[in-house]
Structure 1
């Protein structure tokens, strides 16, 4: 049950699906489509398969990014982001960040969360397979990605000090402050590229947050 204004608003965005069948994931959609699924208990020993399908470049008609929920392979509901679909014994919550999905979880009635499983052919699925097959390499990539984002955020903060304190109202309060960090253009570009790639890697694990947007 929705308990907050945001949750109630998300539920009001949901519209009935048209019943069409879920199309198979194609290799050329690896950078533009996310597809994740989960079997949800429907009681009496039966399960229902729910699949979330997101075209990250938006719909062809209006460019709006929507989450489509399929129930046992048939389109059950559609919603703009962030989406909150009511299903058996809980809800499925979907949200986009600046670099891809940042949330795609089933939340049961006891508030336990389970991330949906990405399609093996999707970018998220390939990243999950790397984590399964090469866990040590996966951990190293995850740590490097997070470090790149944190460094990008720190550099951005330090370089914002000077322009912020140059605002007359701020200067009157704290005085003028020179940025403690001045990087050459090439270094700034390198930090930005590293932060961008780090955020992409985190998005493939559905781990992005506001830090990624700020760092980039």
Structure 2
């Protein structure tokens, strides 16, 4: 759950919350499109559900919209975008993963910065290794090998190191998603 308070058309403050169900499967989405089941995202105003939708989505609210999008590892976007273009991130529930990471970051800013930097390094390393390996696999096909030659990656990791890199990459992607840090190139290519 993510929260924001907005002024209504009458000038009173209203509390809005967005509930995102990360693990909603294709069957759940199809049921929602057919009018049944639960959608992966729901909008609440003062504790009452007023809308639901599949992701990515945009919920209209007074003064703008709330934009919601996810990745394979968590949230990509959870922002209120005002009519004038100003953006504000919604506040996560204090017991959610995002809320816990936020409190950790405020309580231990240096450690949080180190973890964030380590996540970026891991994702960049995974990206480089995977790109080199992908080029090697492609150029070893008979059709491409005849035309451009076979490429052999200069980085050849043992199985345990590949497993460790994949595990670290998944953890780094989850860390970035729970902090609502998303980079189109880095996070899409590595996930």
- TM-score under structure 2 length normalisation: 0.87
Aligned residues: 181
Residues 50 and 130 of structure 1: CA distance in aligned 2, closer, same or farther (over 3 Å): same
The equivalent position to 1:212 in structure 2, one of 166, 178, 187, is 187
**Is there any run of 5+ residues in structure 2 with no aligned partner, and where?**
30-38
Q: 1:87: Cα distance to partner?
A: 0.8
Deviations 1:54-83 (A, max 9, x none): 121117x93336110001110010000101
The equivalent residue for 2:19 is: 53
Q: 1:40: Cα distance to partner?
A: 1.5
Q: Which is richer in helix?
A: 2
Could you tell me how far apart the structure 2 residues matched to 1:208 and 1:63 are? Answer: 26
Could you tell me how far apart the structure 2 residues matched to 1:196 and 1:99 are? Answer: 8
**Is there any run of 5+ residues in structure 1 with no aligned partner, and where?**
1-34
Could you tell me how far apart the structure 1 residues matched to 2:107 and 2:120 are? Answer: 21
Could you tell me how far apart the structure 2 residues matched to 1:132 and 1:41 are? Answer: 28
Contact 1:98 1:213 in 2 (8 A): no
The equivalent residue for 2:81 is: 107
The equivalent residue for 1:62 is: 27
Could you tell me how far apart the structure 2 residues matched to 1:85 and 1:118 are? Answer: 17
Could you tell me how far apart the structure 2 residues matched to 1:71 and 1:184 are? Answer: 53
What is the Cα-based RMSD across aligned positions, in Å? Answer: 1.9
Could you tell me how far apart the structure 1 residues matched to 2:112 and 2:28 are? Answer: 34
Structure 2 counterparts to residues 34-183 of structure 1, below 5 A: 35-43=1-9, 45-58=11-24, 62-64=27-29, 66-183=40-157
- TM-score under structure 1 length normalisation: 0.77
Could you tell me how far apart the structure 2 residues matched to 1:111 and 1:180 are? Answer: 47
The equivalent residue for 1:4 is: none
Q: 1:157: Cα distance to partner?
A: 0.6
